[in-house]
Chains A and B, each alone.
Chain A
Amino acid sequence: MLKHELMVKLSGFNTMKDSSMPTSGDSLQAHKAPNTAEQTMERLIFSLSELEHLGQTLISGHSNFNHSSKTYLRITLGTLQVTRGAILRYHPTRQNLEVVASSPDEVFSPITVEPSEIEILLQHPFIENENLPECLEQFFTRAGKFVETIGIRLWVPLKIQDEFLGMIGLGSFLGRETLEAWEMELLTTLAHQISIAIAYSQMVEGIQSEKFRLFMLAESAPQICQLLQPEAAAEQVVHQAVSLLDANAGALMLTYPERQELEMHFTFPETLVEGPTGDSSSNGLIIPYGEEAPVSSETTSADMLKSVVKEGLPGHCPPKSDTLFGGKNLMAVPIPGRDGDILGILVVGDKEERGGSITPFTDEDVILLDSFAKQAGVAIENAHLHQEALEARQLQAEMEEARKIQENLIPDRLPDIPGYEVAGHYEPRGPVGGDYYDCIALPTGHWGLTIADVSGKGMQAALLMATLRAGLISELSRGKGVAAEDSVKPNDTRMPKQVGQDVSALYAELTDMALTLNSLLYASGTEEKYATFFYSHLNPDTDVLTTLNAGHNPPLLIKKDGTYKWLGEEVGGIPLGMFPNDMVPNIAEYEAENVILTSGDVVVYYTDGVTETVNIEDEYYEEDRLVEDSKACKDSDAEGIREYLHEAVMGFQGAADQFDDLTLLILRKQ
């Protein structure tokens, strides 16, 4: 109400459309400057009311000075009846004055101001163009275009105590050459109010920024700790750090203590770091930190990062010390793990401020990033532990599948072979292996007895063994290993040597089958994946057992009289799948041989899980014990022998841990 009444009273301004004073020089040109005492008094009253308005503007919540500056300028010009002017705000980090409001409203480039010039400006409450201090001439030269465009004639530094905050520039005093003394006093008061507004704005901006940072710090902890994928956690950690520090870049590098290296895991922006191959990808950037840093007058960013890891303390790197991070101003902090070890480092680059200029990281920034890095450490460890748990679960599931495959390969029960007894035993001990035994009925009424052991453990081993079994069944079904049977008759009285001559075709077929299986396994796996394999062809009519060994432990033949023989020991070939077929002749060709079994003979097929069983004194069971134990039970039936040998091996093992499967196949001639 007060303001409205004053406006009506003030004949010089009663054409204004709003409560603010005019900003257009043109509208004021039509009015004459008040020159009566009454008008002067009225202007003074009006000015006081405008000061109230200005104060209200200050505390209205419009905290951003750049936005409110137009209002301040309008009030200042209107109160003083000045038609042209500007408010300039000083940016300490940029060391320039930004024109935040001007009349006429135009865009100007910031005006650089040197610290020495600020000292002089602070010493003068007013500076007139006609009476410039000598040492400010360069400043006014730099401000020349602005001064000329606005028509500035009078300058008023804005300050609070000795802090330089900006300037007000005024021109065109509406019918006057200069401002009167009381107007100058009013201008001083207005300038002080505007200075308070700038300081208040800075304070509010600072509080807002700190409020934002503290909130983000509190908010980020639970957020990043919920991320269970290491890649996602790394991305969020970098993004949050960048946001938190008002940075323009960030990176996460993890330490690999065993190789004393830092490896880049995530960068923002993606092209922040040039990769080792010169491309723009940061993936794979590796910085060794074990070696001593070379003595150099200039610290590179890599030196700084190494130092952060080795010292466990935050580090800075000035801008343009090198180009690894695009010459950015860097700050890095260690990321601590639960055990006090350093998981990696968190890097932020180029802290920005309003206007886009880059400002140095402060001590408070270091504390903030350090706090955040502690949270990041928990998040990264959580994510990695989760990943490990997932992988362990996946491995366990895979092992279960492998176990099922493995168990399906082992026959549920063994067939009845006329005149013979057979018994088998498979016992998994530790990770799933690749043991296999079988007794396969052949179309001729004969039998194929086999035992095998695949290298390695788990799914790969189980699948390779499944492949071997499928290949074997396929070969046998195609008629391999059944030749020359016609020549062998029941109750044949021929000597073994003669029989051997007759089964030469069978020998050839078995070696051919071994090569086929070798080729199959070689194509299915790597050099490290192979199978030891023992195959024996039993003709129950002639009691001829024709055998072929591909790198397997030679089965033990215990004769009725207690003598024994290792089958396939002298004519054994190399394991299947280890070398291609064309290399086999150069190493050890597959060869077959035969024996004739007589009543009471026992053949003990086994895998190395038997002979390599270890007791608590780190002794191996070995072949000698197998011979002795087999002799001890040779007069039992096949099942009894199996049971005896199993108990013997387990008794030898005692409380010792075992990691290889135990497989036995017993064939006994009744």
Chain B
Amino acid sequence: MLDKFDIQIREAKEHAVIETTGYLNDALGEQLSKKAQELIQNGCTQLVINLEKTTLINSIGISILIEIIEALSEREGTLNFCGLSATQERTFRMMALAKYAGIFPDEESAIANL
């Protein structure tokens, strides 16, 4: 799973879900950032990032997620994460990502809480 590298976008009327697959490092993070920025530029400010297939994140991946949170907060948008492992959730809380973005166990609840 970690050797693979992919981003899937599922857009709905009011929101969009970005699902990543693989190691969230600079390469995947930049792609994620680009996709998120495109969505935000196009007026989609309700985002869910599904990290179920991303079990490994480094500090650059974290900084990119922070950037997306900042970009969304400027547009008064909302970001929810889902599919996090227990360690990822603790990391997100410790790195204060959870202060500005919601964390939900699955995509359905993450969308419902946008």
Contacts and interface: CB of A to CB of B under 8 A. Distances in A.
Interface string A579-595: 00000000000000000
A352 B63 contact: no
A212 B95 contact: yes
B67 interface: yes
A278 interface: no
B92 to A, nearest CB: 11
B67 A212 contact: no
B108 to A, nearest CB: 28
Interface string A350-378: 00111110000000000000000000000
A39 interface: no
Interface stretch (A22-30, A267-275, A483-491, A561-569): A267-275
- Most central of B57, B58, B67 by chain A CB within 10 Å: B58
B3 A208 contact: no
Given A219-B87, A248-B25, A213 B67 contact: no
- Most central of A67, A239, A244 by chain B CB within 10 Å: A67
Interface in A65-86: 66-67
Contact of A216 (B2, B30, B70, B91): B91
Contacts of B26: 352-356
Interface string A209-225: 10111011001000100
Contacts of A211: 94-95
**Chain B binding surface SS class:** helix
Given A216-B91, A355-B26, A243 B56 contact: yes
Nearest to B29: A354
A353 B61 CA distance: 10
Nearest to B60: A354
Interface of B: 2-3, 23, 25-27, 30, 55-60, 62-63, 66-67, 70-71, 87, 90-91, 94-95
A62 interface: yes
Nearest to B93: A215
A215 B94 contact: yes
A67 B70 contact: yes
Contacts, number: 70
B10 to A, nearest CB: 25
Nearest to A64: B67
Contacts of B60: 246, 352-354
Contact of B62 (A208, A242, A353): A208
A218 to B, nearest CB: 9
A185 interface: no
Contacts of A246: 25, 58-60
- Most central of B56, B60, B62, B67 by chain A CB within 10 Å: B60
B70 A62 contact: yes
B2 A208 contact: no
Contacts of B71: 67
A63 interface: yes
B27 A356 contact: yes
B91 A215 contact: yes
Contacts of B62: 208, 212
Contacts of A223: 87
A215 B95 contact: yes
Contacts of B3: 268-271
Given A66-B67, A67-B71, A270-B3, A242 B56 contact: yes
A570 B23 CA distance: 74
What 10 A-B pairs come out closest when comparing CB atoms?
A212-B59, A209-B59, A269-B3, A246-B58, A356-B26, A243-B58, A215-B94, A64-B67, A352-B26, A67-B67
B67 A352 contact: no
Contacts of A244: 58
Contacts of B58: 212, 242-244, 246-247, 352
Contacts of B63: 64, 205, 208-209, 354
Given A64-B70, A270-B3, A353-B26, 7 more contacts: A64-B67, A66-B67, A208-B62, A212-B62, A242-B23, A242-B58, A352-B58
Contacts of A63: 66
Interface string A241-266: 01110111000000000000000000
B25 A239 contact: no
B65 to A, nearest CB: 11
A248 B58 CA distance: 10
Contacts of B95: 208, 211-212, 215
Contacts of B67: 64, 66-67
- Most central of B23, B59, B62 by chain A CB within 10 Å: B59
A18 to B, nearest CB: 12
A323 B107 CA distance: 42
Given A63-B66, A67-B71, A213 B59 contact: yes
Contacts of A352: 25-26, 58, 60
Contacts of B57: 243
Contacts of A354: 26, 60, 63
